[in-house]
Amino acid sequence: MRAGTRIADRYELTEPIGSGGMGQVWAGYDERLDRPVAVKFLKPGLADEADRHDVAERFRREARITARLDHPGVPTVHDAGVVGDDLYIVMQLVSGTLFADLIAENGPLPVPWVAAIGAQICSVLAAAHAASLVHRDLKPTNLILGTTGLVKVLDFGVAAILDTDLPKLTITGDPIGTPVYMAPEQALGSSSVGPRADLYALGCVLYELLAGRPPYAADTALGLLHQHLEAEVPHVADARADVPAKLDDLIVALLAKDPSDRPESAAAVYRHLLAWAADDVLDSVTAPPEHSAADPTSPHRFPLGPLPRDTVARTRPAATAAAPTSVPSAEDVQVVRDRALALADEERFGQAADALQSMLRRAAPVYGSRSPQILEARLDYAGILLLAGDFRTAILVFEQLVDDLTARYGPDHEAVRACRLQIATCQAELGEATEALRSLRALLDHSPGAEGFPLRLQIAVITAGLGQVDDALQQLDGLVSDMRSTPGAPPDDLDDVTALREHLRLLREGG
């Protein structure tokens, strides 16, 4: 790319403003709406590593999810697409200072500043996690101090674009993220990287803001990953004497190797951090006065964002027109299903889900929730929720379907098994590793021989992500042996399992 390039016949690139492992960022201009924008491109070399169509689909999905994240601490997403061989996302252009530069120029920051900064980050993470969105690459170069003192978290969704294709629960390659800030389960390539991986990265960031250096250091990326897996958790209080003991304890908890030992949520961490933010910082929750000069050295310029609830009900907007009240015919039901699937093909998942949900509310009481046509429509609805990234709602719908499909067709019916697998998919997407393992193992009990190979791989990956590396290696050893002795086992699948096994062994040995 070069200055003057026009994207989508709308965005003119003006100058490069950043680059990193995921790609390059340009300042640009939206000619249609007369506003400055930032345009981020996925590095072409990375795009070549996976099937281009699948990467593009994942990219658009993550962009849609990120665009729905309405929070003052997240830059607004305006557009996304493909130009030539490059994927791009257009977002709000944020003015300010990267925290990586702030640390480099100022060294360790005052405790009240760090507490207020951390609280703002937690506010963003709580909103994102409630929307089933995990950052996966939280670090100082993805955090910016705006000119008004508001912290912005950059690149939500971008780091996930090349991550594993979780709806299939498969391994696609190396873990996505930055080794200095990567949670142990992420370093192990787990398909169950959830909200607590972001909390681990937050612990690394808070440690660095207080100590002026990250919690772990090594000469190689593999060495760093080994430190995250095996090294004793450091105490930031050992680096500076004025860190309160309870704040030190909080950061140690955030850096716990086992995700279940970390705090329960970003909202819970937010509440703890408020104890160490100075009173005058807390008083600046409201925006600074108009025309006030922003002083980046003043803690008064760290207004705290709103705290989302631990559990946020996902609701959809009401229709702009009243829904028809007539009883839908069987043909009407099929028309809505066909229309919803057509909308899904156009990636208008929210509109497709709304259409099916509205129809089901009227048709299910008439035909029965367990009638074949209604069950099929409910399967469509659940699948579209999954595609839309609304995993929490999808789990509820799939669980209801398991009960009703079992009652009609029996527990061994193919549709029942498919729903159980999708439940595990959603649980893995939400970072609920224990629940995903339970679901997968129940399926494995009824999947003999080669039919169970994919499930065994998924179970081993999640087991490793929980820090049980030795157990995962034993599972993979047995899987490799069984695959080699099974005629017709796909060689590519065997290569994937073997590569994962060697990756885990290297991490366990520290390189």
Active site residues: 137
The full DSSP string for 327-359 is PPPHHHHHHHHHHHHHHHHTT-HHHHHHHHHHH
Reference 336, options 394, 399, 378, 388; nearest CA is 378
Assign 3-class secondary structure to 20-32: CCCEEEEEEEECC
| 22 CB burial (10 A radius; 0-12, 13-18, 19+) | buried
- What spatial distance separates the first Cα and last Cα of the chain, rounded to whole Å? 37
Whole-angstrom Cα distance, residue 308 to residue 276? 20
C-beta of residue 493 within 8 angstroms of C-beta of residue 480: no
State both tokens at 352: 């497709």
CA distance to 345, 495, 496, 502, per residue, from 499 (Å):
34, 6, 5, 5
3-class DSSP state for residue 168?
helix
Whole-angstrom Cα distance, residue 183 to residue 258? 9
The conformation of residue 131, written as its DSSP 8-state character, comes to T
State both tokens at 73: 């601490």
Whole-angstrom Cα distance, residue 143 to residue 324? 48
CA distance to 138, 203, 228, per residue, from 263 (Å):
17, 11, 18
Whole-angstrom Cα distance, residue 268 to residue 310? 8
* 181 alpha-carbon distance from chain centroid: 15
CA distance to 41, 192, 383, 398, 491, per residue, from 58 (Å):
14, 17, 16, 22, 26
| 364 CB burial (10 A radius; 0-12, 13-18, 19+) | middle
